[in-house]
Amino acid sequence: MLRHRLLILPFLLLIGFVLSMTSCEDTTFSSSVPRVRVYVHIDRRLGSFVTFTPEATYSYVTATREGYFLNGQMVIPSPDTDYFGYGGVVVYVTMMNEYKAFDMACPHCAARGTRQTCQVNSMSAVCPNCGEEYQLWSGTGIPTKGITREPLLQLPITVTQDKILVRQQ
């Protein structure tokens, strides 16, 4: 019995050592895009936003200081309550018919101290400065062209029957 315990002791010490070495690694993700206030409110009962439904796969709304844009229509933002993150906000309907929201700032450029807003099309967001391309259709914002590995900054989104709210303090 004592001999059994002596054989198990080095094994337990080895497991403890391995766990202590791997558990100290910092696994938190910190985006290169600065966290700034976001408050984007889309009322799906108004104008062209009525068509912005989960069934409208690959459709999107961009929200910037200039306005909310969908299908060539623009709604003027409220300067007192609306905030658009670091590079503007895109709310996108994915291939799984889910709403996802991203800051449109290019993480690759932000890491180098440049604020550059990506241009959004039906499937991706492309940085006009560095050429990085980010996948929107899957809802991940991961880079698909270029050298960066950092995805677009995903933003918290709340969806109700009539409203879509993207909010970050």
Is residue 31, in this structure, part of any structural domain at all? no
Q: Is residue 86 part of a domain?
A: yes
User: Sign of the C-alpha dihedral, residues 80, 81, 82, 83?
Assistant: positive
| pLDDT computed for residue 33 by the predictor | 93
Residue 122 lies in a domain: yes
**Domain presence at residue 28:** no
The span from the CA of 136 to the CA of 164, in Å, is 18
Flag whether 26 is in a domain: no
Q: Is residue 24 part of a domain?
A: no
Domain count, the chain: 1
Q: What is the pTM of this model?
A: 0.80
The pLDDT of residue 38: 96
Q: What share of the chain is helix, strand, coil (3-state, %, to 5)?
A: 20, 30, 50
Residue 5 lies in a domain: no
Determine the pLDDT at residue 24: 52
Q: Which domain holds residue 125?
A: 38-168
Beta pairing class for 60-64 and 67-70: antiparallel
Task: Check: CB of residue 62 under 8 Å from CB of residue 120.
Answer: yes
CATH of the domain at 81: 2.102.10.10
Residue 30 lies in a domain: no
Tens-digit pLDDT profile for the chain (169 aa)? Answer: 555 555 665 665 556 555 555 545 445 568 899 999 999 999 988 877 888 888 888 889 999 999 999 877 888 898 889 999 999 999 999 988 899 999 999 999 998 888 899 999 888 999 999 999 999 999 999 999 998 899 999 999 999 989 999 999 8
Q: What would the two tokens of residue 49 be?
A: 């936003």
